[in-house]
Amino acid sequence: MTSTLLPHTPTPTRRLPAVWAPLAAAGASVLAAQVVPFVGALMWGLIVGALIANLGRGKAALDRQAAASKPLIRIGVALLGLQLSFSALADVGLGAVLIIIATVVATFTTTLWLGPRLGVDHDLTSLIAAGFSICGAAAIAASQDAVQASRRSIAAAVALVTVFGTATMLAIPVLADLLHLTETEAGIWAGASIHEIAQVIASASLIGAAAAPIAIAIKLGRVIGLAPIVLTLSRRHGSADAPGVPWFVVGFVAACLVGSTGLLPAAVVDIASVAATVLLAAGMYGLGLGLTGRELAGIGPRALVLGAVATLVALGVPLLLLAIL
């Protein structure tokens, strides 16, 4: 009799399914990306989450899944660092390093400057700047807390970086041929300009065998800029009493250092790469669960213009420097 009067306390095991749902959706997203690689697993994760959200059922359960996905995306960002190697970046030469730095800085600063003048929301402008200058959806996911972004802005930024990244992926092999660039030059251009790593690989494969290694090295060099970009946005959007360096940024830098030692077996790096993709896709699924048609409405064409300009800067700066250096 007494037991029926006691308040019911949920046990921890009741929350376990909230973690497994984003991971299952991420697995499906990775498989979908194998079929349509230029979209990417992260974008697929967002799409799956948004589709489920718009069914309008089980809101409490979906909210728990969204909350459970947040730490997954941070762990995924930290794991990205294991794919990077400072020695590989050094091998591409000083000229290529200058191209990486100039492209990242120009794309990031131009986007931040132009966004307010076009009337694009502050948080969406920052997400576009991060995604288009560094590594697409992964950079957007890493920057969301620093920017304090709305779900609608995150979805818009991921959609824009996917659309423009795909267009750039297809355009560079054609333009490189018209401009009579060597495969090495075209590889540098692809790695410095295209937003997503998967898109860089796909584009380089269309250019030629010599383009792929240099394109991937250049692209990973851009990813190294993730930590300073997130810190810059954190200071730009934070208050005076905002916390310091996020733990996952520290983890990302530490992972970069570990990856640069060359001591990790290739199999470990490959597993970490897959794990990072799955965790990031799970996080994007969680973000998608908060996206309804109402939240996505009214983004407007100004964000499209901003994305187009950011892409043109990312394309133009490395091409100009290739002609000069």
> What's 263's DSSP letter?
-
**Interval 61-99: pLDDT, tens:** 777 888 888 788 788 878 877 877 777 667 777 888 899
pLDDT at 3 over 50: no
| Domain membership flag for residue 126 | yes
In-domain check, residue 262: yes
**Residue 65 near residue 252 (C-beta atoms within 8 A):** no
Angle among Cα 294, 296, 302 to the nearest 5 degrees reads 130
**Domain housing 104:** 38-324
**What is the residue-averaged pLDDT of the chain?**
82
To which H or E segment does residue 198 belong?
Answer: helix 197-207
Question: Which pLDDT score, from 0 to 100, does residue 297 have?
Answer: 58
Q: pLDDT-based confidence at 187, cuts 50/70/90?
A: very high
Residue 66 CA, distance from chain mean position: 18
Angstrom CA distances, 308 to 88, 129, 150, 204, 227, stand at 31, 12, 22, 22, 25
Model confidence at 315: pLDDT above 60: yes
Tell me the pLDDT tens digit for each residue of 258-310. 888 888 888 888 898 888 888 888 887 887 776 666 555 556 789 999 999 99
Contacts of residue 99, Cβ cutoff 8 Å, sequence gap at least 6: 188, 192, 218, 317, 318, 321, 322, 325
Q: Is residue 265 part of a domain?
A: yes
Residues near 292 by beta carbon (within 8 Å), at least 6 away in sequence:
50, 53, 54
Q: How many domains does the chain have?
A: 1
Q: What tokens appear for 229 in the block?
A: 């970009």
The predicted model gives 35-50 an average pLDDT of: 78
pTM: 0.74
In the predicted structure, residue 15 carries a pLDDT above the cut 70: no
Q: Does pLDDT of 4 surpass 50?
A: no
- The pLDDT of residue 127: 95
Q: Are the C-beta atoms of residues 292 and 148 closer than 8 Å to each other? A: no
Residue 183 counted as domain residue: yes
When pLDDT is cut at 50, 70 and 90, the band that residue 316 belongs to is very high
Residue 129 maps to a domain: yes
Task: Judge whether 274 lies within some domain.
Answer: yes
Q: Does 22 reside within a domain?
A: no
Instruction: Classify residue 21: in a domain, yes or no.
Output: no
